[in-house]
Amino acid sequence: MIRVVELHKAFGGQQVLRGVNLELETGKITTIIGGSGCGKTVLLKHLNALLLPDRGSVMVDGADITKIGESALNAIRQKFGVLFQGAALLDSMTIYDNVAFPLREKTKLTESEIEKRVDERLNQVGLAGMGYKYPAEVSGGMKKRAGLARALAMEPEIVLFDEPTTGLDPLLGKSIHELIRKMHGAFGFTGVIVSHDIPEVFKISDRVAMLANGVIAEAGPTRNFLASSNPVVRQFIQGDVEGPLSVL
């Protein structure tokens, strides 16, 4: 389980997170929604210590990752897979080498075992036979699929998805959601999705949390969340310009 306790983070003079408290249940997909620039990605990057808080803690399986040393942190990071917003594939490598990269760096698998695992992952994300291409030679949707294949290469316990459908057309977006659902079924990881692809993302979420004004305004199982009477949640889900959330 991941538990975020009283997380505060500011950049320069701008306070982004003002005391976030959130529990992410093991084996479930939790989606974090919120307006653009409200700090969703900042919160996500705290979950595997890509960012460190000014105050507060992030507990992963009982360990506070904001206070542990580098080697302990690396051991915990190996439990994570991350699909970045732009996929963040290493552009000097082919897609095959990108997926093989964590396996080569972090396991003692032989090259033939790595090949088998990479082919399996590429097949699962619908990129069979595309491994020889470089990231610059494929579309945005294919990059996201390749990023997902790399995120799942080490069979992580937790997978973080940073805006997995941003920049994709609705059909591709749906196919990425479907892929996440399918992979979750196959691997049973704990998923954390940051998205504003509403309402599509609710279809694959077990739980939803909404970040507004630097705190979690509402969190709970998807059905309860959608039925929430919290005016902030209602305004955001319904896309109303008027309401407690300032749009401009």
Residue ranges that bind other proteins, judged by CB under 8 A: 45, 48, 50, 70, 73-75, 77-78, 80-82, 84-86, 88-92, 101-102, 105-106, 154
Min dist. Cβ of residue 147 to other proteins (A): 9
Residue type at 25 in one-letter notation: E
State how far the Cα of 98 lies from the Cα of 134, in Å rounded to an integer: 9
Which residues, 6 or more positions from 234, have their beta carbon under 8 angstroms from its beta carbon?
228, 240, 243
Min dist. Cβ of residue 23 to other proteins (A): 22
State how far the Cα of 36 lies from the Cα of 47, in Å rounded to an integer: 19
Min dist. Cβ of residue 35 to other proteins (A): 20
Q: By three-state DSSP, how is residue 30 classified?
A: strand
Parallel, antiparallel, or unpaired for β 63-64 and 80-83? unpaired
DSSP H/E element including 71: helix 70-77
Closer by beta carbon to other proteins, 90 or else 186: 90
Sheet holding 14-24, edge to edge: 14-24, 2-11, 55-60, 63-64
Closer by beta carbon to other proteins, 85 or else 213: 85
Closer by beta carbon to other proteins, 105 or else 242: 105
Closer by beta carbon to other proteins, 70 or else 242: 70
Min dist. Cβ of residue 69 to other proteins (A): 13
Calculate the alpha carbon distances from 110 to 66, 93, 121, 153 in Å.
34, 19, 17, 14
Calculate the alpha carbon distances from 214 to 99, 109, 141 in Å.
35, 43, 31
Min dist. Cβ of residue 127 to other proteins (A): 18
Closer by beta carbon to other proteins, 114 or else 237: 114
Min dist. Cβ of residue 72 to other proteins (A): 11
Beta carbons of 50 and 84 less than 8 angstroms apart: no
Closer by beta carbon to other proteins, 92 or else 229: 92
